[in-house]
Amino acid sequence: MKILVLQDRLRSGGTERQSILLTRAFAAAGHAASLLTFRPGGALRPAAAGLAVAALQPFDFGLDWAAPFLRSRIRRLRPDVILAMGRMANCHADSLARRPEGAAVIATLRTGKPLPWLYRRALRRASHVVANCREAREAAVGRQGVLPDRVSVIYNALVFPPTGEAAREEALRARLGAGPGTAVLLSVAMFRPEKNQRELVEVVAGLPAGLDWQLWLAGDGPARAACERLVESRGLGARVKFPGFYDDPGPLYASADLAVHASWSESLSNFLIEAQARGLPGVAAEAQGVRECLVPDRTGFVVPRGDRAAFRMALVRLIGEPAEAKRARSAEARAFARATFDPARQVAAYLELFGRLFFAQDL
């Protein structure tokens, strides 16, 4: 099959990482897979090395939605399947689904944010919709009016599947000032308002005095400077660290003790499933798909959104657990995530869906 993955830009987000992973896996499975972006460049463009990647904009217009000559490019490529990833790609999928040029157009629902009108219409008009969690599927059917038999759930795949038990990264801990007994709370996400790193700062600001902890807010983005100012104003500069963007966040997971997450707009957090796969128990605020990223009350805790007291209580409980209980939680988190979000399993589900739609087109 000829498979075209459509993405607006290769910024450093989870959807972009999934786009690269899937394109590479489809190609490895023997399909003519390519990745078409609207904007050139992006933080993850080097990660797509070796793939058939092209951009529609001859130079970066700075506009995520601008897809010049998209239809003519698709006519030249003549894909059998078009997989739209991300908000702007799905908005353009509406037009592609109305005149599909013989291709099966697959929309995806990977966000909890309000959807633009074109996006909503694309969900109803596409050949099929892939939701990345059960809650997203329920939203597609209940709120967007997509027929139930036209929506499948395929989880995000582990972008960095662990190959074994990672040794604790003591050098990174030491560089960031964490001692042997310091509980390192980790968040890995782009700094955008909806990722809500500011809420994590407010949560840890109220942790009990005498508790030995650090909060690492890894990543980059437009909201980072405001978060750094908040940390400074709260006098937390010695405890809250900004390690920056990691192309491969494996060393961060190996260095941390707990995963923390307060995003108010999610649809299956890549960060939480990656952290679970490396044995990090999590505490997360309620959001779409969060309960599917962990085993609630066993590998982590989901607390009501905005309930800082409940968030702190969960952190104190996990930090203070005996070593044997921590090891058991970690082992269960690792086993759950590695089985549930195994890349081979997710790629096989996509290819099985593509095959059904491809052969249905020929009938």
Residue pair 106/19 in contact by the 8 Å Cβ criterion: no
| CATH code at 170-340 | 3.40.50.2000
Task: Give residue 100's pLDDT.
Answer: 55
Binned at pLDDT 50, 70 and 90, residue 111 comes out as confident
Q: Write down the pTM of the prediction.
A: 0.90
Each domain of the chain, given as residue ranges in start order, spans 2-157+342-362, 170-340
Q: What is the pLDDT of residues 291-328, one digit of tens each?
A: 999 999 999 999 999 999 999 999 999 999 999 999 99
Q: Which helix (H) or strand (E) holds 264?
A: none
Q: What is the pLDDT of residues 130-162, one digit of tens each?
A: 999 999 999 999 999 999 999 999 999 999 877
Architecture of the domain defined by 2-157+342-362? 3-Layer(aba) Sandwich (3.40)
H or E element in which residue 107 lies: strand 104-109
Q: Would you say the CATH fold of 170-340 matches that of 2-157+342-362?
A: yes
Looking at the chain, the whole-number percentage of residues with pLDDT higher than 90 is 87
Cα 218 to Cα 191, 235, 329: the distances in Å are 9, 19, 24
- Alpha helix locations (H) across the chain? 14-28, 70-77, 87-98, 117-125, 134-142, 170-175, 197-205, 224-233, 250-255, 270-277, 308-319, 323-340, 343-362
Query: Whole-angstrom Cα distance, residue 302 to residue 113?
Result: 19
Please, what is the Cα angle at 8 between 121 and 54, to 5 degrees?
Answer: 125
